[in-house]
Amino acid sequence: MQITAKELASLLNGTVEGDPNVSIHKASKIEEGEQGSITFLANPKYENYAYETEASVILVSNEFVPKRKIKSTLIKVKDVRSSITFLLEQFGQKNNKTGVSKTALIEEETELGASCYIGNFTVISRGTIIGEGSQIFDQVFIGENVKLGNNVVLYPGVRIYNDCIIGDDCIIHSNTVIGSDGFGFKPNEEGVYTKVPQIGNVIIEANVEIGSNCAIDRATMGSTVIRKGVKLDNLIQIAHNVEICENTVIAAQTGVAGSTKIGESCQIGGQVGIVGHIQIAKGTKIQAQSGVARSIKKESTALYGSPALEYSNYLKAYAVFKSLPELSKELSPIIRAFKKENP
């Protein structure tokens, strides 16, 4: 894509300060900007780069007033971050392939919608239905009786086990596994663990994005459910019979144990551990590396720590905790004196 500052400002409902005819053909970070690129300034701590960058155009807010001369052309907009999203959509990767690779294996009784793409060495098993415009890239495996909606994107190496359902406009990144067996084992009289069959499936509703190297287990019975609009980062484990409700986001290396229900619009940081058979209320925010071992019933609660406490209480407790060595030194003489007086 190649566009002038003037043309882009028109698309973004912005105004130009500088050369309106300067041409751009790619996006760049502000500290790595070069001629022909567009960058942005959304965080004031990066302002110094605005005076040094070689980028041809910088997106800034309407309120931005330079402290000294900037050689780049400025496009001033109401909302820098929304404008960035628009830019990335224009300059980003386009998934618009169609056709079926000669090396793909498509078994009988499958249905492929119009304008699909099936990549090299991909396997699509018996009874699968794939919706219109879906992009199935190289070396993907899709088991029997899987249903994929319209405009689904499966990046290389995704594995989807039998009977799972993926809704419209979902994106699943490389090497993620959908529908692997839940962690179900029962010890016998000799203490040997025997496998409990996992006969359910996974249902992923529309507009869900799942990062690379995630594992979402099938239900023991019924379904593991990821509701519409959920966004999962890389390296996340979702156990059997979990339900994650609409528009919740979860960061990398989080694990959710079996049969837990996470409410709508929750925000869960990286490396959070959540035990099984609990409920997390709508709008809950959980700080990174926290451990949640009980149900959270109050909506919009913010949690921190392990076991997780209400966020403000954790910060107060931590302020005391980090001062314990000094407090111990101050208290030791008092304790010794008390013991001497009260043998």
Q: Which residues are annotated as catalytic?
A: 240
Nearest alpha-carbon partner for 232 in 210, 214, 247:
210
Output the CA torsion sign for 144, 169, 182, 219: negative
Query: What span, in angstroms and rounded, lies between the C-alpha atoms of 277 and 108?
Result: 40
Angle value at C-alpha 236, between 195 and 175, nearest 5 degrees: 85
Helices then strands, each counted (H, E), the chain: 5, 40
Nearest alpha-carbon partner for 78 in 181, 171, 164, 9:
9
Q: SS3 letters for 63-85?
A: CCCCCCCCCCEEEEECCHHHHHH
Nearest alpha-carbon partner for 232 in 199, 187, 266, 202:
266
Q: Are 260 and 245 in contact (CB under 8 A)?
A: no
Q: Are 292 and 272 in contact (CB under 8 A)?
A: yes
Query: What span, in angstroms and rounded, lies between the C-alpha atoms of 5 and 159?
Result: 43
